[in-house]
Structure 1
């Protein structure tokens, strides 16, 4: 743990700006409050029947959160000139477009409905959604890296030299009491375990095998998420803004949790911040993958146990 605390201490000594953190924290709190008060994403975006309008709404929501956090740097004299770089804003727009497209595109649903038996349609769609991050996020980011950064660094975050992983496993263990407390909350159990939302209940070997496959796809999506947020959004943007890339990533990361329980959305800011600091300083996302995936699977296990003990 000394390694992690040392990295965090270095970040606060060399890069942290209270004059920026306070506005960005307030901005994030306003976004969270508006979303949960209006139930904005679920009511106004997710179920919008017009495809073009839904894509535009996703773009607006993510541009507001991610781009808005960068706009706040314009009020910081030390950062103003840096964030006025047109190439930075081109990368911000590229980022928003590919991420919005990832959540907007579900034309594959029609193929599933046409060719997959009703019982398995839901889980097949979930397989596709969890694996689609590789196509819509990893590949575009890899293309950008190959064209711009391949001579400066390995593909964003896939750097293992000198990275000590043991402290990350300890971080996962430290989260167990908090996860066990969360498992007593109704909104948490309405959301987790995710495997209960596949529509394949029962003990048949085929259903259990398909549910196991879902958990594997669910895990792959966390690797993609870690690559995109702690790899691409920090290490690709660092060439323009350095450590200033961390907090805007946190705001964006909060925005993708708007359909999750409120406590999880709030904690995503601080969890994303810690993992972002570690990724920036180590240039590696392997530790973040361990923490993110470890916590996600623990949430699945603990929530499943809670449902078995006290079925809802």
Structure 2
């Protein structure tokens, strides 16, 4: 654990500048203010759901957030040469295309209607919605890795190799969340949103106990955090660190933007969580700790809600 705190202090010493961090905070506040005052994502982007322009609009939003923060970093660190880097543009544009298609993907809807005659459409819709990242994020990044980065680092696919370094700290952070999740589970608004699994009659259709379909859904639900960590902490931090000395701050701004359709508090908290996980991923060269926290919290919230509703 001492090594991680040493790495965190070292990163702050090399990357932290009051003017850069202040300007980035102001940029984030502006983005948050515009989104939540205009209801930008829900009212101006998601109204095109299912149309070809939908992922294009997401690409515009994410490009503005990410490249704006990169410009701030290059300006205050006097690294304008980054904009002439072919590797930077290749990596950033790959990430932008992948996540924009992922955000605006709609192919799973038609497939859900076709499978089993659409009789279990709702169950399949939510499962396939969480699994579509295999095609939109994981597979493209793996192809990129094989074609571009494997020769540089043949042993790790953007932090997917498990590392023991930092697991104790990650486990401690997750343990600290348990009482918070427990307290939250007593709140009506929490139980109005969780568990995200709902009885859709799929278990009766397949002739299995409901816990089986619930388990399948929860596996798919947990999987959706894998591509998030892979792209943001793996590709945009570990992968981008080969061409950019300070990849964490721009990643954080984009990571905050993917929470624009959620409550303001969740978007704000993603800034601090994203920064910590980004620095830790850079230190450990692994995203497994972030996965442990992300999936642990998600499943913990599901379990807490199940237990609360079962006790009523």
CA–CA separation in structure 2 for the residues paired with 1:303 and 1:147: 44
Q: After superposition, what is the alpha-carbon deviation per residue over 1:6-27, rounded to whole angstroms, capped at 9, x for unaligned? A: 3322222233222211111221
Q: After superposition, what is the alpha-carbon deviation per residue over 1:115-171, rounded to whole angstroms, capped at 9, x for unaligned? A: 445552112011111111121111111111111111222211023355242221111
Match among 227, 237, 240 for residue 237 of structure 1: 240
Q: From the superposition, tell whether residues 160 and 55 of structure 1 become closer, same or farther in structure 2 (CA, over 3 Å).
A: closer
Superposition TM-score, scaled by structure 2 size: 0.88
2:255 maps to 1:281: no
Deviation at 1:96, TM superposition (A): 1.0
Report the counterpart of residue 274 of structure 2 in structure 1: 272
CA–CA separation in structure 2 for the residues paired with 1:237 and 1:266: 24
2:236 maps to 1:227: no
Q: From the superposition, tell whether residues 172 and 50 of structure 1 become closer, same or farther in structure 2 (CA, over 3 Å).
A: closer
- Please show how residues 153-192 of structure 1 align to structure 2 within 5 Å: 153=153, 154-161=156-163, 163-183=165-185, 188-192=190-194
2:266 maps to 1:257: no
Match among 288, 292, 295 for residue 294 of structure 2: 292
Where 2:261 maps in the other structure, the secondary structure is coil
- Structure 1 segments (4+ residues) deviating >6 Å: 201-204
CA–CA separation in structure 2 for the residues paired with 1:77 and 1:3: 26
Deviation at 1:283, TM superposition (A): 0.8
CA–CA separation in structure 1 for the residues paired with 2:186 and 2:47: 30
2:88 maps to 1:88: yes
Quick check: 294-303 or 217-226, which moved more?
A: 294-303
Structure 1, gaps ≥5 residues long:
none
Q: Is the 8 A contact 2:130 2:220 kept in 1?
A: yes
Quick check: 109-118 or 52-61, which moved more?
A: 109-118
CA–CA separation in structure 2 for the residues paired with 1:306 and 1:258: 29
Q: From the superposition, tell whether residues 291 and 111 of structure 1 become closer, same or farther in structure 2 (CA, over 3 Å).
A: closer
Superposition TM-score, scaled by structure 1 size: 0.88
Q: From the superposition, tell whether residues 146 and 51 of structure 1 become closer, same or farther in structure 2 (CA, over 3 Å).
A: same
Q: From the superposition, tell whether residues 231 and 177 of structure 1 become closer, same or farther in structure 2 (CA, over 3 Å).
A: same
Report how many aligned residue pairs link the two structures: 308
CA–CA separation in structure 2 for the residues paired with 1:108 and 1:236: 29
Q: Is the 8 A contact 2:170 2:293 kept in 1?
A: yes
- Please show how residues 89-108 of structure 1 align to structure 2 within 5 Å: 89-108=89-108
Structure 2, gaps ≥5 residues long:
none
